[in-house]
Chains A and B, each alone.
Chain A
Amino acid sequence: EVQLVESGGGLVQPGGSLRLSCAASGFTFSSYWMHWVRQAPGKGLVWVSRINSDGSSTSYADSVKGRFTISRDNAKNTLYLQMNSLRAEDTAVYYCAREMAMGSGKDYWGQGTLVTVSS
């Protein structure tokens, strides 16, 4: 059974840092591109970042470029999102998701982890 389990969320002050993790199981993690998607309270889904299967290529939303870094450890079947210089507007539930094939749909999602940026 495919499972994605996020962790690392919590309360952080503006300007602070946080690292999210997404533990994958039930599939060959190293074969799939992975994404982070976020959802602010009561708002819609927003794409955040993507990494290819071997970690050599990444993309970011303009709103997080230069502040967030996506990475992966295929030996540990884990996806990461390092978030620096956090702002109040980064407050959201962060989901990791698996991409079926390049450009295609995201067929498995984690349960999400809440990040709250507040003083």
Chain B
Amino acid sequence: QSALTQPASVSGSPGQSITISCTGTSSDVGGYNYVSWYQQHPGKAPKLMIYDVSNRPSGVSNRFSGSKSGNTASLTISGLQAEDEADYYCSSYTSSSTPYVFGTGTKVTVL
């Protein structure tokens, strides 16, 4: 099972919106509504930001939103803030022998 494909880096200015893509196959992203997104600051544990494609856990800012079209899921951060600078990973349930897979990770930089 190969990792899901994410851009290595995305950047934006404070207040702007950015979108991170997560591309898989019909055996993972496209086949299930079990895509989640995680934020990870350096030296810290990952934090769940979006689950089941577009749901936000309690306490996560509504500036974070998720969607999916075909085999590609997306995380959008609106009103970019300095504290959003971090690594972001998508993850999906899969039909393969390895039932879960993470994306390659995207470093978000706030200019």
Task: List residues of A whose CB falls within 8 A of some B CB.
Answer: 35, 37, 44-47, 50, 59-62, 95, 97, 100, 103-107, 109-112
Contact = CB atoms under 8 A, between A and B. Distances in A.
B102 A45 contact: yes
Contacts of B47: 109
A19 B11 CA distance: 40
B28 to A, nearest CB: 11
B46 interface: yes
Interface in B54-103: 57, 87, 89, 91, 93, 97-103
Given A107-B48, A109-B47, A47 B34 contact: no
A114 B40 CA distance: 17
Of all A-B residue pairs in the complex, the 3 with the closest CB atoms, nearest first, are A105-B51, A105-B36, A103-B93
B50 interface: yes
For the side of the interface on B, what is the size category? Answer: 20 to 34
A4 to B, nearest CB: 9
Interface centre among A44, A45, A62 (most CB of B within 10 A): A45
Contacts of A97: 46
Contact of B97 (A62, A95, A100, A105): A62
Nearest to B89: A45
9 contacts: A37-B102, A44-B104, A45-B40, A45-B46, A95-B46, A103-B32, A105-B50, A106-B46, A109-B47
Chain A, interface SS category = strand
Contacts of B3: 44
Contact of A104 (B36, B38, B46, B101): B36
Interface centre among B46, B100, B101 (most CB of A within 10 A): B100
B102 A44 contact: yes
Nearest to B3: A44
Nearest to B100: A47
Contacts of A100: 51
A105 B48 contact: yes
A61 B36 contact: no
Contacts of A104: 34, 36, 51-52
